[in-house]
Amino acid sequence: MSAPATIVDVRGVDVELGGRRILTDVNFSVRSGDFTGLIGSNGAGKTTLLRLMLGLVQPTQGEVVWPSHAREQRRVGYVPQKVALDVDVPLRVRDFVALGDDGHRYGLRRRTPDTWRRVHDVLDAVEASDLAERRIGALSGGELQRVLMAHALVSAPELLLLDEPLANLDPGATEDIVSLLARVREREHVAILLSAHDINSLLGVMDRVVYIANAHVASGPTDEVVRPDVLSKLYGHHVDVVRVHGRFLVVTGTTSQEPVAEHPDLVVE
């Protein structure tokens, strides 16, 4: 079998914002069909990296290369971490999802039966068909999350970028969303890059990891990245990695005896 095609290459990227170095010499690629976890603590630079890939942030050095011109062809879907919607917006869910396909166009929209079939398909893919006629402003947080995924998927992207979709979810809801995304990947044949601060919730579905710490990145298969030698180099000080019952416990500090709460977003008990 041939190797998966590369969708995007991030090559030697540095990013400075407001005089502060956010990312330094970042290198990784995303391949067709892969589920990649973008892992790091709050403030590590995950959102900046996603915005860089979308062209919303310019690198100080390096480049983001799309061999298939995916971004220019709108073949990238994006689900931001926060979306503020007025509860009084008179917009139905199915119309909002359709905007993901034709919202970039000017003038009156004449949507074809094919467009509405595609809207129906992606709402079904994210298990939100029953929301089609609801007002977008009246959705709960979990319902809105699914609709935003449908909005991002309707244009049939090669790559779906999700910024902290698991934030503030309880364990049950987290498991539901991760399982849903695994099904979406298979059904829509889309690669996924999902940012999160907890690696353990993604272990059952993740093919590769991009791990951010100290403005640097380590990337590759999970077992090759989440190791004491790799993470110690990434953080610039000693890191212990323990795997218990199929879950990772990452303890950062100058010695393994230091309190695990020093970096609470990377510690899972």
Q: Enumerate residues 6+ apart whose C-beta is below 8 A from 172.
A: none
The total of other beta-carbon atoms located within 10 Å of residue 80's CB is 16
Predicted pLDDT of residue 54: 92
| Dihedral pair phi/psi, residue 11, rounded to 5° | -120, 110
Token digits for 216? 């640097």
Please give the DSSP secondary-structure letter assigned to residue 244: E
Predicted pLDDT of residue 71: 55
Distance CA 163, CA 167 (A): 9
**CA gyration radius for the chain?**
19
Task: Tell me which residues of the chain have a pLDDT lower than 50.
Answer: 106-107, 254-269
Token digits for 116? 């509405």
Predicted pLDDT of residue 253: 62
CATH homologous superfamily for 1-75+157-236? P-loop containing nucleotide triphosphate hydrolases (3.40.50.300)
For residues 3 and 29, is the Cβ–Cβ distance under 8 A?
no
Q: Enumerate residues 6+ apart whose C-beta is below 8 A from 264.
A: none
Spatial CA neighbour of 121 closest among 53, 184, 180: 184
Distance CA 138, CA 160 (A): 25
Predicted pLDDT of residue 105: 54
> CATH 3.40.50.300 in the chain, residues?
1-75+157-236
- Per-residue pLDDT of 41-53, as tens digits, reads 888 999 999 999 9
- Per-residue pLDDT of 85-137, as tens digits, reads 777 778 999 999 999 887 555 445 677 889 999 999 999 999 999 999 999 98
**Mean pLDDT of the residues in the chain:** 86
Predicted pLDDT of residue 264: 35
Predicted pLDDT of residue 265: 38
- DSSP notation for 112-175: -HHHHHHHHHHHHHTT-GGGTTSBGGG--HHHHHHHHHHHHHTT--SEEEEESTTTT--HHHHH
Token digits for 167? 């934030």
Predicted pLDDT of residue 268: 29
Predicted pLDDT of residue 269: 25
Spatial CA neighbour of 239 closest among 254, 222, 223, 219: 254
